[in-house]
Homo-oligomer: A and B are copies of this chain.
């Protein structure tokens, strides 16, 4: 296993060197060729996916999991379309990030370059194979994928089609590779391959991500969880506040940028709480409140300490009453996950305080937290949302999968 993984690493590095100097139009041609291969191989993809689905049913996987696994004509078309959208985006490589001329005449240009080889470890959904490979390639990177066991046959055929299309476009084999083992041992070996992999991105549950952080010897970009907050300030437009809370909580509760804890200034309780509680009832949201909130809503359950840390991903909302923006900010910095948090307020000083003091990737004033998303930010496709602070924070598009180098042009300069 170790030998095969090492060979994959060497092939990936070789492919990454070719990708790094591929002109944008060639890269985009390659992405479009990949889309064609996916479309023209729909029958084979569905056959491989059928094997995965049969195994999933035999092992008693839940219907929700089976649905995430299933590839039909619509989803195959979406994967192909995703590649074409990525192809149509601005090239992230070769951007001049800065340029200075030093007093000694040296001209220093900082230019964006691909990272090299990116490893992606993910769980069930086979469309990640195509989406992740597409965005990595757009940024000039080779990719080594390690998908979940449930989608093994689907992932194998998809990654093979992508790599074949790259070879047809003149790249060396190895731009897109899938680890042909789905056990833990292969992951552990991969996480030590810092000689080949410049970055590893784990996508999945918190347990997988903690394992990757503990074992990886290369840099990791991760997204632990999204415990997102809204703070309803003493001065605000109550109707807008209720609409924003409803959207953030209910529009897609399973998303990482959905609302999990609501903080309410007690100075607006009388105006805000009655319409808010009525709206949550209508939407079927279970409320878990602190003692003070429960005096306003006798039906609310009592929130325990762990509720403040909880990412429900469901129609459940924790509610806490606070006495100031400072108290709200302290709560978010203590219990939050540095993802997305917002303030609903008409007081500019409170918004400024919130923006300056909350330590999260994305802060909102008077808008839903659901906008934290590469597409909504205008980045095009996204590879994920980073809750890290190093390299990339918040939504990550193709730009975030690049590094830079300094090109220094001289005329015989030596250092004195």
Question: Would you call B115 and A390 a contact (CB within 8 A)?
Answer: yes
What's the nearest-Cβ distance from chain B to residue A385, in Å? 11
A160 within 8 A of B: no
Q: In this complex, which of A214, A246, A365, A408 has the most chain B Cβ atoms within 10 angstroms of its Cβ?
A: A408
Question: Would you call B414 and A251 a contact (CB within 8 A)?
Answer: yes
CB contacts (< 8 Å) of A108 on chain B: these are: 377-378
Give which listed residue, B217, B243, B244, contacts A214 with CB less than 8 A: B217
Question: Would you call B412 and A366 a contact (CB within 8 A)?
Answer: yes
CB contacts (< 8 Å) of A393 on chain B: these are: 403-406
Give which listed residue, B20, B237, B378, contacts A100 with CB less than 8 A: B378
Of the stretches A58-66, A67-75, A273-281, A351-359, the one at the interface is A351-359
CB contacts (< 8 Å) of A378 on chain B: these are: 100, 102, 108
| A 286-307 to B, binary, CB cutoff 8 A, 1 in contact else 0 | 0000000000000000000000
A219 within 8 A of B: yes
A21 within 8 A of B: yes
A132 within 8 A of B: no
Question: Would you call A413 and B367 a contact (CB within 8 A)?
Answer: yes
A411 within 8 A of B: yes
Closest residue of B by beta carbon distance from A255: B415
Copies of this chain present: 2
A81 within 8 A of B: no
| A 234-258 to B, binary, CB cutoff 8 A, 1 in contact else 0 | 0001001001101110010000000
Interface members, chain A 377-416 (any B CB < 8 Å)? 377-378, 388-391, 393-394, 403-416
Interface members, chain A 333-382 (any B CB < 8 Å)? 333, 355-357, 359-368, 370-372, 376-378
State in angstroms the CA–CA spacing of A113 and B148 once bound together: 36
The 10 lowest CB-CB distance pairs between A and B, nearest first, are: A367-B410, A247-B414, A389-B403, A370-B415, A219-B390, A391-B391, A240-B412, A367-B413, A362-B406, A390-B391
Known contacts A213-B194, A371-B106: A244-B414 contact under CB 8 Å: yes
